[in-house]
Structure 1
Amino acid sequence: MVDTMTFAQDVLRCDLCETPIPSMHCDFCHIKLCKACVGEHLSDLSKEHKVVRFKDRGSTLIFPECTIHMKNHCQLFCEDCDCPLCLSCLSSNSHKGHTLKHFLEILKSRQNDIDTDIKELQDFICPIYEEISLDIIKEKQSAENHYKKLKSDVTKQGADWHKEIDILVKNKISNIEEMTQKHLETLNEKEFEINQNISKAKQVILDLKKMLDSNDVSLVTTYKSCNAFFRTLPPKVTAFLPSFSFEKVNREQISQLFGSLSTLSFIKEKHGYTLKALEVVPCPPVKPLLDDPEIIGTIDTGYKYLNSVSCLSDEEIWTCGNSKVMKLYNLHGKLLRTIQTKSKIPPREIAVTENGELVYIDEVTQTINLVKNKQIEEVIRLMGWIAENVCVAFSGDLLVTMARDTESKIVRYSGSSEKQTIQFDHRGKPLFPSGSMKYIAENRNLDVCVADIATGAVIVVNQIGKLRFRYTGHPCKGAFYPHGIATDSQSQIVTTDSNNHCVHILDENGKFLRYIDNCNLSNPWAICVNSKDNLFVAEQYSGKVKQIKYI
């Protein structure tokens, strides 16, 4: 045989007789065969064989052998027992009444899980670890600059003193250098730990991709996700940097008045990092719901049909309805400003960016426009899809619900660039049925919340589009017709119910908390919440916006 240490590569050979360039392959035994050796290989009746042309190798799925009925291959899977079955197992009636599926169904489901894990690792977990690593590098530079300044302060102070205190200056510098070394060593340790996890995560991605390419069913179906390890982010170390303080020179109290350095200390925040986003919106302390929510103001917009309301600030709200004119009011009902749509057709929906710029959907041109410095700019133009609703995410992205024919989806835009599409669950089924207007909001935990009147449900997915829960109303009320949706500082979800003339309040996990049904609401439609957690409910037919205090 050719020495592989001498030659870079040898030709492929039959595993039985070493004939070069074998033309056959046994997919079950994973060996190469020349035509002359096929008969000899098939004569081994102790195992099953599947001989195919060499170019077709790997095309045969390898099902696991039954652990009870030897030599039988399992092509079924019992979901109740979480185990593979052969036909003999099936005929034994030990799985009678259980949910049985073909292995191919299980294989597809597990492959989808693997695809989802790869996407989470690639698109969210690894970038966050890399961002943490970059933050540490920046923190190191900032720390070094801080310590350089400390040294400069100490040196400058020492220059104003007499030569007798040179030793004291050296001692202070030495202390700073020790703390510098300790601080940088701590940051280097954290950087090394983060980079190790990044390498591990990337290796897992490679392993999982290889697993998806494998034709070994047992390998895939027994796959267990290790993403939970990476979701547990390391504790964040925060340094309390030392400072240098000094007094005017007093030769009698040189040691006391020269100045002192505060000590270097660290704290570890177990949940200092989060997988939810690179920048997390801080949540204020929990505030209880009022037993009796109350109306604290009413604004009459003059619209015959009031479609949308959006907070510009704690004191001002934008509104739109059956008019080409969008109106800005203060909380006393004074009209402050109006803007006319470019197409001179009523806007379908409005939102406000964190910079205070108005965003609106033009139903005629199927564009999403931004009002900036009194000028209207086209940001997004849809082709083949109809924009239904828009909200501004905490990141500044635009989240747009849209539909066509029998399809509905959510698209995240960064400027005019499409950044993410949320349409199907992990089984490939639509998350959002078509057929009605869908309102959208983003929670502080970066969940995307959709009110869908067609199914009578609030549908909530996380930031990568995984379904978290569906809320379909409360049994104490009639049919649930959700329209407007908003979230507050407590990450609570607030949605209007036009059929029951009330507002539902849910916690961030979809648990029903209470109704607001004591404020004489009539056909509540759109809704928004300002930073003070005051609720603005737009009544569609009265044209009024009611401001409600509920927290």
Structure 2
Amino acid sequence: MQEKVERLERTLLATNRSLKKFKKKSKDDLQKHREEMQEVMKKLLSNEKEKKDPILLVTILPSILQTSHISVPGIENICKISLASPDKLWVSDGEEELLQVDFKGHLRQRSVIQYSISHTITGNGNLLFTCGENVKKFKSDGTITTLITSTENVECIHSSRINGDILVGIYCTIPHTETSIGKVIRYDKKGKKLLDIEQDNNGQQLFQVPYDITENKNGDIWTSDKCMAVVVDKSGDHRFNYTGLPSQSSFRPQRICTDVLGYVLVCDNFSSSIHLLSKEGRLLSILLPKQYNMRPPFALCVDDKHNLYLGEYESNIITVFKYLEVTEQ
């Protein structure tokens, strides 16, 4: 019995020594690991300090530079232009032709759609277009499905580059009057209604005839209306209106778009010019000087390289301009 007790005591003693060694080793390993991690973090922080975002120098060209033109086959009017990819455009004539062309004017796809006056490209490359009271989807495989059905004619649409929501402008004329009432509706990408935008905080009607609609990078929604561009934030709260130059006797905004820097471009059919605005609505430049001798601009879009694609009234020509120069410093 005594031997068993002594053997057990020796075993316990040996175990305690092993545990002490293990604990010391584990402690040393843990400390070493902490020191290694601290070194890694120091290097990461040091690299982040050394890495600086490039400073972009943005120059608005004093005179926009015409770079090329695209002849769209088979149509006589260009009503709406959307950038389908870096080298393709969707173009509609506002009557029945919906065409996809490349930058050489070669026809890639064609669909006959009655009275499709507005269209937009979704984040995954599908085309959404208006068709009377409906918004339809033209998939890349050529199939067409109805995404949204409205109670009024859909005048304009825009697919958000921020979250894929769909902005829809509609209007109706009050019976026995010449007064129109419009509104903007926000849907999710599946066509579920999320928000009606119709009045400001004082109960005043925001829109008469929403002709075109776009969304800026800060979430603001810009809508060209009868004689102004109406700007609301992403929640639908009214921010301000842009009414053109104070010296202008009239302002008739038509197509409207924004670029990757947050600038806003508005077609003014009254003066046959393009107004380039800041996101706060400050006029930066009047594009399209008279020396180009173009018909009133009717459709426009921009790409991420600051090229402006401009369609003319009663013409099948899209003229391409460079309006900004951006360099890294």
Q: TM-score, normalised by structure 2?
A: 0.79
Q: Residues 323 and 386 (structure 1 numbering): CA distance in 2 closer, same or farther, change over 3 Å?
A: closer
Q: Which SS does the other structure have where 2:63 is aligned? A: coil
Distance in 2 between residues matched to 1:514 and 1:371, nearest whole Å:
36
Distance in 1 between residues matched to 2:241 and 2:229, nearest whole Å:
6
Q: Which SS does the other structure have where 1:171 is aligned? A: helix
Q: In the alignment, which residue of structure 2 is the partner of 1:296?
A: 67
Is the aligned partner of 1:492 residue 2:266?
no
Distance in 2 between residues matched to 1:489 and 1:294, nearest whole Å:
19
Native 8 Å contact 2:134 2:147 kept in 1: yes
Native 8 Å contact 2:223 2:231 kept in 1: yes
Q: Residues 429 and 173 (structure 1 numbering): CA distance in 2 closer, same or farther, change over 3 Å?
A: same
Q: In the alignment, which residue of structure 2 is the partner of 1:174?
A: 31
Native 8 Å contact 2:98 2:112 kept in 1: yes
Worse-superposed segment, 368-377 or 326-335: 326-335
Q: In the alignment, which residue of structure 1 is the partner of 2:203?
A: 428
Q: Residues 322 and 422 (structure 1 numbering): CA distance in 2 closer, same or farther, change over 3 Å?
A: closer
Is the aligned partner of 1:358 residue 2:127?
yes
Distance in 1 between residues matched to 2:267 and 2:120, nearest whole Å:
17
What letter matches 2:166 in structure 1?
L
Native 8 Å contact 2:297 2:310 kept in 1: yes
Native 8 Å contact 1:441 1:487 kept in 2: yes
Q: Alpha carbon RMSD of aligned pairs, Å? A: 2.9
The 5 A counterparts of 1:90-489 are: 170-174=27-31, 176=33, 242=37, 261-263=40-42, 285=56, 287-301=58-72, 302-341=74-113, 345-363=114-132, 366-372=133-139, 373-383=141-151, 385-393=152-160, 394-405=162-173, 406-414=180-188, 415-432=190-207, 434=208, 436-452=209-225, 454=226, 456-489=227-260
Q: Which SS does the other structure have where 1:311 is aligned? A: strand
How far residue 531 of structure 1 moved from its aligned partner, in angstroms, is 1.4
Native 8 Å contact 1:303 1:322 kept in 2: no
Q: In the alignment, which residue of structure 1 is the partner of 2:280?
A: 509
Structure 2: runs of 5 or more not aligned: 1-20, 47-52, 174-179, 325-329
Distance in 2 between residues matched to 1:523 and 1:428, nearest whole Å:
35
Deviation string 1:71-94 (CA, Å, 9 cap, x unpaired) is: xxxxxxxxxxxxxxxxxxxxxxxx
How far residue 517 of structure 1 moved from its aligned partner, in angstroms, is 2.3
Q: Residues 172 and 339 (structure 1 numbering): CA distance in 2 closer, same or farther, change over 3 Å?
A: farther
Native 8 Å contact 2:95 2:117 kept in 1: no
How far residue 346 of structure 1 moved from its aligned partner, in angstroms, is 3.4
Q: In the alignment, which residue of structure 2 is the partner of 1:232?
A: none
- Which structure has the greater CA radius of gyration? 1
Q: Residues 544 and 477 (structure 1 numbering): CA distance in 2 closer, same or farther, change over 3 Å?
A: farther
Native 8 Å contact 2:155 2:210 kept in 1: yes
Distance in 1 between residues matched to 2:122 and 2:146, nearest whole Å:
15
Distance in 1 between residues matched to 2:26 and 2:62, nearest whole Å:
64
Deviation string 1:88-117 (CA, Å, 9 cap, x unpaired) is: xxxxxxxxxxxxxxxxxxxxxxxxxxxxxx
How far residue 439 of structure 1 moved from its aligned partner, in angstroms, is 0.7
How far residue 323 of structure 1 moved from its aligned partner, in angstroms, is 4.5
What letter matches 1:428 in structure 2?
G
Q: 2:308 aligns with which of 530, 535, 540?
A: 535
| Larger fraction in strand | 2
Q: Residues 167 and 331 (structure 1 numbering): CA distance in 2 closer, same or farther, change over 3 Å?
A: farther
Q: Which SS does the other structure have where 1:287 is aligned? A: strand
Is the aligned partner of 1:548 residue 2:321?
yes
How far residue 477 of structure 1 moved from its aligned partner, in angstroms, is 4.3
- Give aligned-pair identity as a percent: 24
What letter matches 2:205 in structure 1?
P
What letter matches 2:183 in structure 1?
K
Q: Which SS does the other structure have where 2:31 is aligned? A: helix
Deviation string 1:157-179 (CA, Å, 9 cap, x unpaired) is: xxxxxxx9x97875353355699
What letter matches 1:495 in structure 2?
V
Deviation string 1:32-63 (CA, Å, 9 cap, x unpaired) is: xxxxxxxxxxxxxxxxxxxxxxxxxxxxxxxx
What letter matches 1:532 in structure 2?
K
Q: In the alignment, which residue of structure 2 is the partner of 1:99?
A: none
Q: Residues 283 and 398 (structure 1 numbering): CA distance in 2 closer, same or farther, change over 3 Å?
A: farther
Native 8 Å contact 1:297 1:332 kept in 2: no
Q: Residues 395 and 262 (structure 1 numbering): CA distance in 2 closer, same or farther, change over 3 Å?
A: closer
Q: Residues 397 and 284 (structure 1 numbering): CA distance in 2 closer, same or farther, change over 3 Å?
A: farther
Q: Residues 322 and 397 (structure 1 numbering): CA distance in 2 closer, same or farther, change over 3 Å?
A: closer
Distance in 2 between residues matched to 1:479 and 1:261, nearest whole Å:
63
| Larger fraction in helix | 1
Native 8 Å contact 1:316 1:328 kept in 2: yes
Q: Which SS does the other structure have where 1:295 is aligned? A: strand
Deviation string 1:308-354 (CA, Å, 9 cap, x unpaired) is: 1001122211000155331111222222222333xxx1312111111
Native 8 Å contact 1:478 1:499 kept in 2: no
Distance in 2 between residues matched to 1:292 and 1:411, nearest whole Å:
37
Native 8 Å contact 2:79 2:298 kept in 1: yes
How far residue 476 of structure 1 moved from its aligned partner, in angstroms, is 4.6
Native 8 Å contact 1:283 1:489 kept in 2: no
Aligned residue pairs total 286
How far residue 264 of structure 1 moved from its aligned partner, in angstroms, is 8.7
Deviation string 1:145-204 (CA, Å, 9 cap, x unpaired) is: xxxxxxxxxxxxxxxxxxx9x97875353355699xxxxxxxxxxxxxxxxxxxxxxxxx
Structure 1: runs of 5 or more not aligned: 1-163, 180-241, 244-259, 268-281
How far residue 408 of structure 1 moved from its aligned partner, in angstroms, is 0.9
